[in-house]
Amino acid sequence: MTALDNGPDDAASDILREKCGVFGIFGHPDAAAITALGLHALQHRGEEAAGIVSFDGGRFHSERRLGLVGDTFSRKDVIERLPGNAAVGHVRYSTTGGTILRNVQPLFAELDAGGLAIAHNGNLTNGLTLRRDLIRKGAICQSTSDTEVVLHLVARSLRSRFIDRFIDALSQIEGAYSFVGLTNKKLIGARDPLGIRPLVLGEFNGCYVLASETCALDIIGAKFIRDIENGEIVLISDKGIQSIKPFESVAPRPCIFEYIYFSRPDSVVHGRNVYDVRKRFGAELAHESGVEADVVVPVPDSGVPAAIGFSQASGIPYELGIIRNHYVGRTFIQPSQAIRELGVRMKHSANRAIIEGKRIVLLDDSIVRGTTSVKIVRMMREAGAKEVHFRIASPPITHPDYYGIDTPNRDNLLAARMNLAEMRDYVGADSLAFLSVDGVYRACGYAGRNNAQPQFTDHCFTGDYPTPLTDLIGESAKQTISMLAEAS
């Protein structure tokens, strides 16, 4: 979901800055309470705001708040204000104060066919272009989010059946989307033609559940049924489940970053356990860029599985040489660079007893701006490390994401600005190595990247964007680029 913040101080400050999680359930008397639990399991996908919309057979009810899921939805009075046996929910993440309550999802609109609530994980790459066009034609936007564009497109469709109007809307949007929607009759799930962001279907006490990740099924004891497929729309009603694939069928290209950083390690994404894949990233890295050392130390929590994999493949003992303070939000949640740096220091401490006098293999999942890396390597030196060999369980991130992951623009991506030796010197390590692109694919069970038909969306590492970036070309480009520059 892209948001254009049009507040006076930080115009567009949260554009292209969001990653989100979605959940939906149909046919359960405690729909809202179960949705709250599902969102709690998806909290890592969005820590900034949460919302639930329920339907009680007659009316829709909506509660949307800034803050963590538990801050709002653990309260009995809030859940009681969300009656009904169907609900959809959303957790939202963005990096700045630009988030405003009216952007918090699910978004809801009264259409001529009845109410529609929609929650979106992903980002539309023509959202700004469509939005500008709609506004020019007289649309009045309540939020500054591109998700609202979808509501407008459904509302304006000239088709009569809801599903045809929804398909009409989807056929006009580009980019990444996993939607859950709720009408007065149906729970809807939809994935973009490439299946960039995940969406799974589960079953709980005879009811269907949709969620961004399987960890949200596990928390309520739901059974995983299957992934919603790329380009698939599912309609869940009293009559059961209906699946349609209205678009030309193309090979799926799920986002590789779900394995690298995004998803929770206990989730199964596209048939692979995330923890397992991350361990294999570490093992591949040990094979590609092994080094003589005394101890393998992860940057917790994101580097832990890869460090275990590296240790097992190399035979170098694994130790917790860095302790993480769990009472601090994710590093990226802090708006400015200065605060981000402070956040890193608050978050990690060296375990001197493990580090002192040792040659360390330091493992992290990725380098984005380099902020974490500089701090952590310095921390290792200050704790007496003899050598610091920094290993990154993903390739260099050279290109920004436009599909719903929080990455800065190119100028702020360390690997877009520097070569390997420069990065090594910048972070202050004795050696630095990244996992190769083929290593990533091998860890996922392929012989390597199929360049003719890549199995994943991996533009962050390759610059190969799988959809048009309409908002970055033509009339939209100037506006988008200036927003991106301001936002970084």
Active-site annotation, residues: 20
Alpha-carbon distance 70 to 78, whole Å? 11
Residue closer to ligand AMP (CB basis): 169 or 196: 196
Q: Cβ of residue 365: shortest distance to ligand AMP, in angstroms?
A: 5
- In the complex, least distance from residue 8 CB atom to ligand AMP, rounded to whole angstroms: 27
C-alpha distances out from residue 98 to 7, 295, 298, 434, Å = 7, 42, 33, 34
Exposure class string for 72-86: b at 16+ Cβ within 10 A, else e: bbeeeebbeebbbbb
Tokens of 182: 């709720």
CA neighbor of 309 nearest in space, from 318, 300, 301: 318
- As given in the structure block, the two tokens for residue 256 are 């590789």
Nearer Cβ to ligand AMP (231/404): 404
- Of the pair 201, 374, the CB lying nearest ligand AMP is at 374
Q: Which is nearer to ligand AMP, 16 or 367 (CB)?
A: 367
Q: Sort 59 into a burial class: Cβ within 10 Å, 0-12 / 13-18 / 19+.
A: exposed
Shortest distance, CB of residue 375 to ligand AMP, whole angstroms?
Answer: 8
Alpha carbon distance 71, 269 (integer Å): 28
Closest CA to 17 of 428, 416, 400, 446: 400
Nearest-approach distance from CB 110 to ligand AMP, in angstroms: 35
Binding residues for ligand AMP (CB under 6 A): 261, 299, 302, 330-332, 364-373, 405-407
Q: Least CB distance from residue 418 to ligand AMP, whole Å?
A: 12
- By beta-carbon proximity to ligand AMP, the closer residue of 135 and 420 is 420
300 CA to centre of own chain: 19
Single-letter residue type at 409: N
- Give the nearer residue to ligand AMP in terms of CB position, either 61 or 197: 197
CB 334, min distance to ligand AMP, A: 11
Q: Which CB sits closer to ligand AMP, 168 or 341?
A: 341
From the CB of 317, what's the least distance to ligand AMP, in Å? 22
Compare residues 373 and 480 and give the one whose CB is closer to ligand AMP.
373
Q: Is the link from the previous residue into 252 a cis peptide, with omega within 30 of 0?
A: no
